Copies of this chain bind each other. A is one copy, B any other.
């Protein structure tokens, strides 16, 4: 798919789901008066599933850039049709999304524009399975307006902040769609969270798959208890 191509209501039969293989997808909401809002981006490896993504009356799921999807299955997200491991995986994905969504509300409700951008960049890097280290290069396929609509800003503000980050030496933007982290520490210091990793990449919370640092997929499904989680 190319930028702007849609997966229309993306559930032919109400049950299909996909993963992103390459590129990125965005979930776009358009208000009657034209305001635009992007509810989330999905990167390679992440699941697209109507039941776990929905909640809007009007939306489209669009490709951010050249993107490939892989149809995982036509699966009723219901206990009746899942085996235990599948059910736990679905449920864990759901919980991770609740966590992410809650964090995003905090970002939109309480962070300044620069803080939102910094949080966004760190999130992109971590979800790309990269380290927060100087020199890492990462994909940033969405344009300024997409980022703005995701962060509750406008594109000019996003642009100004990117410019500032470039001038301060935090970030380099060698070509569109691509970015290099130049000063990881400075970027981390821009955001008002302490436990960044745990905050942005919530650990699985269902069925005990505790070791995985991969927020989106808890491929483990043992049934032992991780005990109390979170910072105390």
Interface residues, chain A, CB within 8 Å of chain B?
A: 1-16, 29, 31-33, 35-37, 39-40, 50-58, 60, 62, 69, 76-80, 82, 84-85, 87-88, 90-91, 94-106, 108-110, 149-152, 192-195, 198-199, 202, 205-208, 210, 214-232
Is there contact, CB below 8 Å, between B91 and A229?
no
User: What 5 A-B pairs have minimum CB-CB distances, sorted nearest first?
Assistant: A55-B99, A4-B230, A12-B221, A109-B152, A101-B101
Residue of B2, B15, B40, B106 touching A37 (CB-CB under 8 A): B106
Of all chain B residues, the one with the shortest Cβ separation from A103 is: B55
What's the nearest-Cβ distance from chain B to residue A143, in Å?
Answer: 9
Alpha-carbon separation in the docked complex, A221 to B225 (Å) = 38
What's the nearest-Cβ distance from chain B to residue A28, in Å?
Answer: 9
6 more A-B residue pairs beyond the given contacts A4-B229, A98-B101, with a C-beta to C-beta distance below 8 A: A1-B225, A3-B228, A55-B96, A57-B195, A79-B79, A79-B91
Given known pairs A29-B106, A108-B152, the reply for A7 and B78 (CB within 8 Å) is no
Is there contact, CB below 8 Å, between A57 and B214?
yes
* Selected A-B contacts with CB under 8 Å, 19 pairs: A5-B226, A5-B228, A6-B225, A7-B222, A7-B223, A14-B210, A14-B218, A14-B225, A29-B106, A39-B102, A54-B102, A54-B205, A56-B230, A58-B194, A78-B88, A79-B87, A104-B105, A105-B108, A108-B108
